[in-house]
């Protein structure tokens, strides 16, 4: 039953994060959907870690090159999703692509969504959970 409660809490937190991103795009003062491209990073970020955890053996060693490469690639996606709205807001001063308010809402959504992903891996990283179901 604790798994169901955790899953519901994670779904609620993820919806709050997506609400921030959508507000950064759809509010009438912003009216630009460029920040919504961070959703692509939300989809791509957990994939390397899930694949690495599925195909690596847990032999008790401290270093696992496959898992470390997957975490490196995942961190590249995470940094890119934080950098995209900042780069869009810092475009040429006379005509920025997005306004700073949309950037801040997108960054807040990033924090909530990525903390939700970390919570997912912590919640389902128990001995009885097998990643073969994913």
CB atoms within 10 A of CB 100: 12
pLDDT confidence of residue 88: 92
* Phi-psi label, residue 27: left if phi above 0, alpha if psi -120 to 50, beta otherwise: beta
For the chain (134 residues), the mean pLDDT of every run of 10, in chain order, is 77 94 92 92 92 76 83 95 94 85 95 92 66 50
Sequential DSSP letters for 97-116: SS-HHHHHHHHHHHHHHHHH
pLDDT confidence of residue 123: 80
pLDDT confidence of residue 128: 54
Give dist(CA 32, CA 29) in Å, integer: 9
pLDDT confidence of residue 21: 95
Q: What is the pTM of this model?
A: 0.83
Closest listed residue to residue 52, CA positions, set 38, 78, 71: 71
């Amino acid at each position: 039953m604790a798994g169901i409660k955790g899953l519901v809490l994670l779904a609620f937190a993820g919806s709050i994060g997506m609400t921030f991103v959508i507000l950064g795009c759809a509010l009438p003062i912003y009216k630009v959907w460029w920040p919504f491209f961070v959703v692509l990073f939300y989809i791509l970020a957990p994939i390397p870690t899930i694949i690495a955890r599925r195909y690596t053996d847990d032999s008790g060693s401290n270093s696992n090159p496959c898992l470390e490469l997957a975490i490196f690639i995942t961190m590249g996606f995470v940094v890119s999703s934080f950098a995209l709205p900042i780069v869009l807001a810092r475009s040429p001063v006379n005509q920025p692509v997005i306004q700073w308010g949309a950037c801040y809402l997108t960054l807040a959504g990033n924090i909530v969504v990525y903390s939700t992903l970390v919570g997912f891996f912590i919640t389902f990283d128990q001995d009885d959970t097998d990643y073969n179901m994913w």
